[in-house]
């Protein structure tokens, strides 16, 4: 068993087999086949933040794989009254076979993994969102037939999504450009790690720019996310001003390749980071991306609980 706290916890050698596993789960689930990979397993779903797709996809994935889940709202736990994370982790580890955690601070998932004694899956922190990128990479492969060698452009804040996209692109062998305003660049430690993966294994090209147009030119994939994440509401005014011109609209999309696809991890704020025209347009694969969160979650659960990408017994 193993934790998945960062996309860097998925090796280059494991990456394509993990996507193959997600694709196989998709085939099985859509065909209505019974899957018995986590029978008799109880998975804790510990969330500090509200969620639609991540919560629903993981709860559904647990059930689809034959297990059971228990949703744990941090607001209803003693965590809300100041109990140390390590104390909560020690107890939950005695009750659960694994913990899926959506949290504010990345240190929370680190402590959960350190003290619980069971696999912990990072279902979003302020640093990364690794499970999102598993399903996103599956979606890109479905849309484009490959990932290696593609040009991916992320337009927006250098946030947890941008951080994880750097690691995922480097692992997959895709070229990645992050376009963000000055002062909103990706995490330097993550950028360094992605560069090491690219140089050591896949040859991906990584760029940071402050020009959305520069990033969009020749892109195979345009990706964006909200400008103001949960916990950043007090910065909303400054962010709205800083991100003016970073919207994916028809003009920006026209700079990309004619067959480029558009992605957004949702929820989307139409008229801010993306226009309704583009989100609902023929080049958008956002709804396919959202569906695939179920199959990415299933693959991550399999990897965490079984320690490797394995076939059903």
Q: Which two tokens stand for residue 48?
A: 């500090």
Q: For residue 261, is pLDDT > 80?
A: yes
Q: Which two tokens stand for residue 114?
A: 């350190």
In tens, the pLDDT along 209-220 reads: 999 999 999 999
Helix (H, G, I), strand (E, B) or coil at 178: strand
Q: Which two tokens stand for residue 107?
A: 């240190």
SS3 per-residue string spanning 206-241: EEEECCHHHHHCCCCEEEECCCCCCCCHHHHHHHHH
Q: For residue 313, is pLDDT > 50?
A: no
Residue found by looking up tokens 């394509």 in the block? 16
Helix axes 160-172, 130-144, angle to 10 degrees: 50
pTM: 0.96
Residue ranges and CATH numbers for the domains of the chain are 7-128+294-306 (3.40.50.1370), 132-289 (3.40.50.1370)
Q: Which two tokens stand for residue 22?
A: 């997600």
Q: Which two tokens stand for residue 34?
A: 């019974």
Distance, in Å, from the CA atom of 82 to the CA atom of 91, rounded to the nearest integer, reads 15
Would you mind telling me the total number of residues written for the chain in this entry? 313
Distance, in Å, from the CA atom of 242 to the CA atom of 224, rounded to the nearest integer, reads 15
In tens, the pLDDT along 134-170 reads: 999 999 999 999 999 999 999 999 999 999 999 999 9
Q: Which two tokens stand for residue 7?
A: 């996309």
| pLDDT, the chain, mean | 96
């Amino acid at each position: 068993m193993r934790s998945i706290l960062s996309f860097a916890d998925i090796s280059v050698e494991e990456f394509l087999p993990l996507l193959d596993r997600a694709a196989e789960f998709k085939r099985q689930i859509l065909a209505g086949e019974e899957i018995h990979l986590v029978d008799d397993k109880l998975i804790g779903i510990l969330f500090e933040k509200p969620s639609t797709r991540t919560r629903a996809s993981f709860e559904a994935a647990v059930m689809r794989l034959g297990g059971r889940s228990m949703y744990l709202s941090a607001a209803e736990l003693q965590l809300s009254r100041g109990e140390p994370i390590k104390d909560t982790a020690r107890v939950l580890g005695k009750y659960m076979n694994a913990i899926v955690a959506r949290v504010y601070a990345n240190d929370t998932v680190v402590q959960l993994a350190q003290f619980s004694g069971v696999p912990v899956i990072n279902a979003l922190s302020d640093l990364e969102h690794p499970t999102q990128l598993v399903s996103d990479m599956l979606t890109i492969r479905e849309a484009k037939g490959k990932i290696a060698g593609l040009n991916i452009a992320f337009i927006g804040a250098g946030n947890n999504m941008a951080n994880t996209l750097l690691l995922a692109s480097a692992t997959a062998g895709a070229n990645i450009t992050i376009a963000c305003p000055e002062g909103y660049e990706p995490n330097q430690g993550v950028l360094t790690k992605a560069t090491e993966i690219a140089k050591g294994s896949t040859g991906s090209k990584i760029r940071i720019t402050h020009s959305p147009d520069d990033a969009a030119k020749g892109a195979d994939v345009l990706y964006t996310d909200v400008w103001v994440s949960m916990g950043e509401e007090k910065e909303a005014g400054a962010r709205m001003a800083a991100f003016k011109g970073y919207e994916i609209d028809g003009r920006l999309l026209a700079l990309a390749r004619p067959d480029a696809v558009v992605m957004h991890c949702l929820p989307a704020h139409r008229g801010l980071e993306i226009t309704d025209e583009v989100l609902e347009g023929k080049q958008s694969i956002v709804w396919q991306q959202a569906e695939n969160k179920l199959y990415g979650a299933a693959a991550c659960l399999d990897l965490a609980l079984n320690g490797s990408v394995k076939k059903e017994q």
